[in-house]
Amino acid sequence: MSQSYLEADRLNLFISKVTDYAIYMLSADGDVVSWNAGAERFKGYTPDEIIGKHFSTFYTSEDRARGVPHKALYEARTTGKFEDEGWRVRKDGSLFWANVVIDPIFGADDVLLGYTKITRDITEKRRTAEALHASEERFRLLVQSVTDYAIYMLSPEGLITNWNEGARRIKRLDFDDVKGSHFSRFYTEEDKLKGIPAHALLTAQREGRYETEGWRVRGDGTTFWAHVVIDPVFDSARQLIGFAKITRDITERRDAALMLERTREALQQSQKLEAIGKLTGGIAHDFNNLLNVICSGIDLLRATPLEPIKHRKIVDSMERAAQRGAALTGQLLAFARQQPLTLEVLDINNIIASFEAVLRRAIPDSASFVIKKSHVGRVQTDVSQFESALLNLVINARDAVGEDGLISLETCQAVLGENEVDQLPAGTYAVIMVSDNGAGMAPEVVDRALEPFFTTKAVGKGTGLGLSQVYGLTQQSGGRLLIKSAVGQGTSISLYFPVQATQPGMDTEAPGLDKALVVDDQPDVLDMTVALFQSLGYEAIAANSGAEAMHLLRQHPDIKVLFTDVVMPDMNGVALAQAARQFAPEINILLTSGYMSGPLREQFGDALAQFELITKPYRLADVAKRLRTAAA
């Protein structure tokens, strides 16, 4: 047997065993002349049943009526190949979707011998493709039906490739108007100049998503506030094939948010005005009472014959009224964190020990008062203001527990992390806590407890400034005040003060009997201040202007102390102090003013910081102490 016959036998054997393809031969007229295992498997005919029959047997009656089988053979014979897909019929009458290839076989002299026909059952593949197409169509219809979002695709270069109904509604443009144009057409000119469209695509490709809000331009030129999301689209090889862009018109939501913010601001302003009204009313009420005492006392002194005992009582009443007025002003300033403090480095436990008797006298004998002190270190604060703060807290606790109950005052040291307590920086703090087992406060009362003139006490039982003063003191001392309270569970108020590493020394040497130049443009204040300095043992010289003060300095070169008001016409106290220091470098200078140090620093800057400042109203002891500091 020749080699060619052996190869032909092997090829026939291979073809007969193939089961995934129907491979068979047709005669020149289209009759089946061979049949393999694949053809038998998915067409259902055995070789004996089909060989000799025309291949049109496998076509539907509709295709046979239209002459499709004959057209297939004709195209194969004339063009060299026929390929098609379509429905074919099995022996049992069921249909399958077939991929068909027909090739002609020519012999010598181009005589047609027949055809080779390869058929493959691709029904499942077609069903998958149809399902995918149906899914894509459903998705397309879904996207097209969305009207609240503009959903469209961009090419990798940013050109618009499709467009949904939401895009048409929001952008007010049909797809034919935008197809193939760059999506930057919807950006404002300012954004385009900044390169924002290109940045958006670059960010989406690099980070996998781009999201932002901003002004966009409609087709009619109007603008709207848009929420935009851009996602990159990659193929299976991770090659960028475009971008999916979703835009939503949120102009109404933005306008509503802005309106809400304006409403909140208006409400806050209204609340501020209400608070100012309460503050003004409270101040007017309390000061009217105090001024009534002073004014009535002045009238009595003028109208009453000289009776020293009665005059002394009247003067005492007037002094108490003036002291309460000064205390009220001090509480207001403390709340505003503008109270001038005399800061000293103090041992808190020593202050409490020396003040304990006063605190205990404020509590009825039937109530329990427990003091527990632990090592806390030294803090920098104003001793008198601190004592006043302690007394305020203890009195509030006394009012909360009534005749019976428990009040405790404890000190301890706490090491805090950053912002662990109300934004305090990390560090070591002395903690002073005053607690009671009284009725406690509701949350809304705790929220308002630090407001000036807010009080839960009966009319005439409290000004509502006690906690405000304590709050102001802790703030100015670099600390914080915390309130913990619940109805029926008592109240605990903790004061945090930063612990100081070192204690500066103090020189307490007395100024001695020296000359003092007192300057003020108000005659009554000048006379009173001269008397005050005389009571301290000074030879006081009065001047009612800066110019007169400089004249007196030249006449009395032995003047040791200059005490001058800051705000005066022509030559102010700071300018006078600078001129005096230049004329007499060794002179001790102390400035005074009824204005707070904050506004004065804004007006005079570093020039004011060169000198000691005492704020009106001042007491004899305050002046003496500051004079010792200035002389140091």
The CATH fold assigned to 344-500 is: Heat Shock Protein 90 (3.30.565)
Q: What string of DSSP letters covers 292-321?
A: HHHHHHHHHHHHS---HHHHHHHHHHHHHH
Is residue 293 within 8 Å of 315, Cβ to Cβ? no
Lowest average pLDDT, out of 195-204, 334-343, 376-385, goes to 334-343
pLDDT digits over 64-74, tens only?
A: 999 999 999 99
Check residue 17 and give its pLDDT. Answer: 55
Lowest average pLDDT, out of 117-126, 271-280, 498-507, 567-576, goes to 271-280
CATH code matching the domain that covers 3-126, chosen among 3.30.450.20, 1.10.1040.10, 3.30.2270.10, 1.20.120.530: 3.30.450.20
Q: What string of DSSP letters covers 470-537?
A: HHHHHHHTT-EEEEEE-TTS-EEEEEEEEEES-----------S-EEEEE-S-HHHHHHHHHHHHHTT
pLDDT digits over 397-453, tens only?
A: 888 887 778 999 999 999 888 888 877 888 899 999 999 998 888 888 887 777 655
- From 402, 333, 414, select the one nearest 377 (Cα to Cα): 414
pLDDT digits over 71-125, tens only?
A: 999 999 999 999 999 999 999 999 989 999 999 999 878 889 899 999 988 888 8
Ramachandran area for residue 505 (φ above 0: left; ψ -120 to 50: alpha; else beta): beta
Q: Which residue has the higher pLDDT, 426 or 355?
A: 426
Which stretches of 346-417 are DSSP H helices? Answer: 348-361, 383-401
Q: Are strands 344-347 and 378-381 parallel, antiparallel or unpaired?
A: antiparallel
> Which residues pair with residue 101 across a beta bridge?
83, 118
pTM of the model: 0.35
Phi, psi values for residue 178, rounded to 5°: -115, -15
| Residue 11 pLDDT grade (very low, low, confident, very high; cuts 50, 70, 90) | very low
SS3 47: helix
Average pLDDT over residues 228-233: 92
Which stretches of 304-379 are DSSP H helices? Answer: 308-335, 348-361
CA torsion, ordered 117, 123, 129, 130, to nearest 10 deg: 120
| Residue 578 pLDDT grade (very low, low, confident, very high; cuts 50, 70, 90) | very high
Check residue 581 and give its pLDDT. Answer: 92
Residues contacting residue 40 through CB under 8 Å, at least 6 positions apart: 46, 47
C-alpha count within 13 angstroms, C-beta hemisphere, residue 27: 8
Ramachandran area for residue 30 (φ above 0: left; ψ -120 to 50: alpha; else beta): left
Residues contacting residue 601 through CB under 8 Å, at least 6 positions apart: 608, 609
Q: Where are the domains of the chain?
A: 3-126, 146-249, 255-335, 344-500, 515-631
Check residue 5 and give its pLDDT. Answer: 45
Check residue 325 and give its pLDDT. Answer: 65
Check residue 282 and give its pLDDT. Answer: 55
pLDDT digits over 259-277, tens only?
A: 888 877 767 666 654 555 5
Q: Do domains 146-249 and 344-500 have the same CATH topology?
A: no
Check residue 196 and give its pLDDT. Answer: 93
Rounded Cα–Cα distance for residues 316 and 581 (Å): 40
Average pLDDT over residues 601-619: 81
* Percentage of the residues of the chain whose pLDDT score is greater than 70: 77
- Asked whether the CA dihedral 273, 275, 276, 281 is positive or negative, the reply is positive
Check residue 213 and give its pLDDT. Answer: 92
Average pLDDT score, the chain: 80
- From 283, 381, 278, select the one nearest 332 (Cα to Cα): 283
Average pLDDT over residues 373-383: 86
Q: Residue holding tokens 């025309």?
A: 54
Q: What is the CATH number of domain 146-249?
A: 3.30.450.20
Rounded Cα–Cα distance for residues 116 and 101 (Å): 8
Of the ranges 162-171, 194-203, 279-288, 358-367, the best mean pLDDT one: 194-203
Whether residue 54 is predicted with pLDDT greater than 80 in this model: the reply is yes
Q: What is the CATH number of domain 255-335?
A: 1.10.287
pLDDT digits over 518-559, tens only?
A: 998 887 778 778 878 877 778 888 888 999 899 999 988 889
Whether residue 374 is predicted with pLDDT greater than 80 in this model: the reply is yes
The tokens describing 565, both together, are 């008001």
Check residue 332 and give its pLDDT. Answer: 57
The CATH class that applies to domain 515-631 reads alpha beta
Whether residue 617 is predicted with pLDDT greater than 80 in this model: the reply is no
Whether residue 58 is predicted with pLDDT greater than 50 in this model: the reply is yes
Whether residue 6 is predicted with pLDDT greater than 70 in this model: the reply is no
| Residue 8 pLDDT grade (very low, low, confident, very high; cuts 50, 70, 90) | very low
Whether residue 296 is predicted with pLDDT greater than 70 in this model: the reply is no
